[in-house]
Amino acid sequence: MMKTLTAKYILAHLLELRAGFCEREWDDIPSRTNLALAPFVHPCEMAAELELRLSYTGMDGFLLKQIYAWGESSFYLAGVLALPEWRIKKAVASAMGYITGKWPKQQSYQQHKAHFQWKKRALTVP
């Protein structure tokens, strides 16, 4: 399970990790790799895994990457895409929940979104 803060950090440094550069801040993240490997291997593997997970989320993952990796605001994206800002934020939250949850997933992203909507509606119905 990848933590949300870890995912946000990876997205913020995605270009550097794609190129194989890594800062020393990663020392506190437990490594699943062999200690004989270079220190940048684990963070770069995590970045690759995160991008793979994002690929399953379609446009929602693209919006997530726009906000956390490229620094766009949800307000700007809403204006460009002619969508309400709440819809952008909802899509980003849904994608973040999917990519940071337990893997491998037993359900597709569309099923995840449908389940999340049903669960949310069930909580609000009196």
Task: Give 2-54 pLDDT, tens digit per residue.
Answer: 788 888 888 888 888 887 777 655 554 544 544 555 555 677 788 888 899 99
Within a domain: residue 75? yes
Query: pLDDT grade, residue 126 (50/70/90)?
Result: very low
Task: Tell me the one-letter amino acid at 22.
Answer: C
Within a domain: residue 17? yes
Within a domain: residue 83? yes
For the whole model, what pTM was predicted?
0.74
Within a domain: residue 8? yes
Within a domain: residue 84? yes
Within a domain: residue 31? no
How many Cβ atoms are within 10 Å of 122's Cβ, its own excluded? Answer: 8
Query: What residues make up the domain containing 22?
Result: 4-26+36-124
Tell me how far the alpha carbon of residue 23 is from its chain's centroid.
Answer: 20
Please tell me the total count of domains within the chain: 1
Spatial contact of 8 and 65, defined as CB atoms under 8 Å apart = no
- Tens digit of each residue's pLDDT (9 = 90 or more) over 66-86: 999 999 999 999 999 999 999
Q: What value, to the nearest 5°, has the Cα angle with vertex 76 and ends 17 and 5?
A: 40
